[in-house]
Structure 1
């Protein structure tokens, strides 16, 4: 999840551990040697609906060790010190695919791409202590909640305790006063350790700040403290899939979606894309196998009534067309390649996932938001600190939410996605039978259609730096999908 870093095709906007504190970048040169002792990470596929027996035998016969078996999706997570491990396993009978999930970085000594993490801007307006009942002291700066009517929706229906949202992210600060009441510790987990679930509370704490920020947008309690979320009465699970450096590898995401499927999660928010490839292409057998393992985990989740939601990313890319990717792999030396129709950003382009783009306070596309007809399902407030400044006390165009130890601002499609998740949670609260495409359709009924800009081109600085072409005309589908979600209509 170097998805927490702007400028490296970030799907996230947050990057500090606490309000007012910037996050020091953890030296990455030690990662390869630390992992090498156990070998590189691999995903091995059994044929769909088939037994894992042949795949298990192939792993062991080729000097691999089994980290975890997932018979419910036909996947084995394995490690091996052999660079040719995947190729050898792929040649075995009864194996549908095998691939390195981390670009063999642990064996080659590759160092993850260095990039500075952007700190969360601290909230400076008003105290964060308790005020009069029902008043949130920092709510005046939550332009984002007003944009989708969430502040008015909260006065009617704050969501049901029967709805459980999964925050697949960097973990959550379990002691935060705006989150503790809604955090379901019994369904929280750390999946970032090789894709093996760890349920002790210390394991799923937030070391990055991103997950806590996302959780607050969905479900910060309306309790007279700090801020309020879109659905401030629903429960949420912290499902940690990002490691201490901010990366989310396939095995962690697979573990997260399987966990959500088996622990009663209704809506799973994924404000990230999966490392180390920004696009996973079928032409590469390693990428193809790892991507298929991820897709199987998401399909398993949707088969168990989980509705996955994901951000589109912040690289100003049109995901409906070929993209020149110069940044992958991000845990080694990037190579330039042009994507084709077989390449997918994951999880957002997997089947059944609700994709979210971002707008600022003026309901216009956030200058770096990815987009694309058929990829964007909805848009929501994610912030725009350069071109869309709200008339709020702090005049900050980013999104204000919780962070470990306080409150802070950040921006990106990672902030937009949890707004959609919160609206879906309100709709689910109103009609518990809704999930998947039916839940998405209910949100579409209430969404505000935003047309493409005049001439179909968005060029906010007039210099072409953030220029993007919107397809869809009056429907705005290329930038905004079915439209801007509306929390107020969701509870009426």
Structure 2
């Protein structure tokens, strides 16, 4: 088993000053090496009359944030949400010149400002009131089936579909359950499309008081309608792997003794914009969540480039939110991505921005990050199949992958008919790690995020290179390689 603590290969710029449409110190702050090409610019149009969304980064103190808020209003923008803990303001504007105008009005208070999407805001601009969340443009009320699950038992010998969970057998979950099924004091934030509040395997597992919706332009909203799924059961499937109840119904999750908070960061069109992710991580920190699972990349860029002034500000804002929530005690697991891409050898990309009519074929470099999975302190998870080989769709990369986990044809909970079904992706691999981290937190409550992230790697099973159906090259040693990172997670070793 590997015992190394590996720093992220290339850090994201933490203090780059990106003002308006210019970059100061971009080369030294971007994370790209001197011999790499500059990434291809992707101009984002914010014409007059279109509601466009921005993040503005300033110093993390209330005085500077208030100064930026005043500047936003002085140029006829709207302050949507402020996070003074990290010095981030989310704003809307219908002015094409908003970026340069707010920088001038803020009198040196702005570190960076940039758009969060390449299209108009679809959900509209919140009116600023604190009224309970309601559906806006592009949103729909969640459908609630009102199933009574109060009579379900909470502990039985086995669940009827448990024998079909090959993934749990592979990573020694049944053996780990002989030691712990997790503590009810531990909460896993599922940053995703929402968790079905009425599913018999999940209804008693949700921490409703901590659950929150972030898709109302990045402003946190409470109440079931804000955090329940509407158009996707992705989050419900993820949640089942993490914590489906041990109740004689369906499947059993990795940490059924813990609780899960539904943190909805996916809108009804399937996008996770930066302001949604920022809200999700901040709420995880504010509500004291212990673990978060992040089975997504932040839209609209599969890779956000630190050397591009229109992309660097949003990446920096998300980085700040991840860092702050980590300092509050949350450890983060994230999917490596499904593009069969080598994250340690970035050259080109043709999928972004994915909210535009046509994405841009572009050159990228090491300053370009899949976020949040490539941010410092996040456990990056690749996917393996039932034979233990890297899944053909999984991203890889020596120094980029931390651990591997099952992600092909994973049986878990789905919304339709309150049932169960299989899905594949690194989205399915990451919650295995989040579940193991929840067990580890339960078994070792004094461990902080850094220790937990280090130990989940140290306790992983060293695995030599294999091949996939795509024949992608694997490089490295059994102790650390581009497919498995530090190895395949082991729930038993993690809690023993």
Q: TM-score range by the shorter chain?
A: 0.7 to 0.9
Is residue 178 from structure 1 mapped to residue 201 from structure 2 by the alignment?
yes
Task: Tell me the residue number matched to 2:56.
Answer: 44
Q: CA deviation at 1:162?
A: 1.2
Task: Tell me the residue number matched to 1:473.
Answer: 477
Identify if the C-alpha distance between structure 1 residues 132 and 79 changes in structure 2 by more than 3 Å, giving closer, same or farther. closer
Is residue 342 from structure 1 mapped to residue 332 from structure 2 by the alignment?
no
| 1:93-492 pair list within 5 angstroms | 93-106=108-121, 133-207=156-230, 208-332=232-356, 333-383=358-408, 398-404=409-415, 405-453=418-466, 458-460=467-469, 466-492=470-496
In the alignment, is the contact (CA less than 8 A) between 1:86 and 1:286 conserved in 2?
no
User: Which whole-Å CA distance do the structure 2 matches of 1:469 and 1:88 have between them?
Assistant: 49
Q: CA deviation at 1:38?
A: 7.4
In the alignment, is the contact (CA less than 8 A) between 1:190 and 1:203 conserved in 2?
yes
User: Which whole-Å CA distance do the structure 1 matches of 2:322 and 2:154 have between them?
Assistant: 42
Q: CA deviation at 1:105?
A: 4.0
**Unmatched tracts of structure 2, length 5 or more:** 1-47, 123-151
> What SS is found at the alignment partner of 2:247?
coil
Higher helix share: 1
User: Which whole-Å CA distance do the structure 1 matches of 2:286 and 2:380 have between them?
Assistant: 23
> What SS is found at the alignment partner of 2:311?
helix
Q: CA deviation at 1:78?
A: 0.4
Deviations 1:151-205 (A, max 9, x none): 2222332111111110000000011111111110010010111111111112211
In the alignment, is the contact (CA less than 8 A) between 2:60 and 2:85 conserved in 1?
no
User: Which whole-Å CA distance do the structure 2 matches of 1:484 and 1:140 have between them?
Assistant: 21
> What SS is found at the alignment partner of 2:184?
coil
In the alignment, is the contact (CA less than 8 A) between 2:50 and 2:95 conserved in 1?
no
User: Which whole-Å CA distance do the structure 2 matches of 1:438 and 1:132 have between them?
Assistant: 30
In the alignment, is the contact (CA less than 8 A) between 2:389 and 2:468 conserved in 1?
no
Q: CA deviation at 1:351?
A: 1.5
Q: CA deviation at 1:423?
A: 0.7
User: Which whole-Å CA distance do the structure 2 matches of 1:249 and 1:329 have between them?
Assistant: 11
Deviations 1:315-338 (A, max 9, x none): 000001113110100000211112
User: Which whole-Å CA distance do the structure 2 matches of 1:362 and 1:87 have between them?
Assistant: 54
User: Which whole-Å CA distance do the structure 2 matches of 1:213 and 1:321 have between them?
Assistant: 31
User: Which whole-Å CA distance do the structure 2 matches of 1:482 and 1:331 have between them?
Assistant: 35
> What SS is found at the alignment partner of 2:360?
coil
In the alignment, is the contact (CA less than 8 A) between 1:62 and 1:89 conserved in 2?
yes
Q: CA deviation at 1:459?
A: 4.5
In the alignment, is the contact (CA less than 8 A) between 1:130 and 1:225 conserved in 2?
no
User: Which whole-Å CA distance do the structure 2 matches of 1:469 and 1:227 have between them?
Assistant: 35
Task: Tell me the residue number matched to 2:23.
Answer: none
CA RMSD across the alignment: 2.0
Number of aligned pairs?
414
Instruction: Return the TM-score normalized by structure 1.
Output: 0.81
> What SS is found at the alignment partner of 1:153?
helix
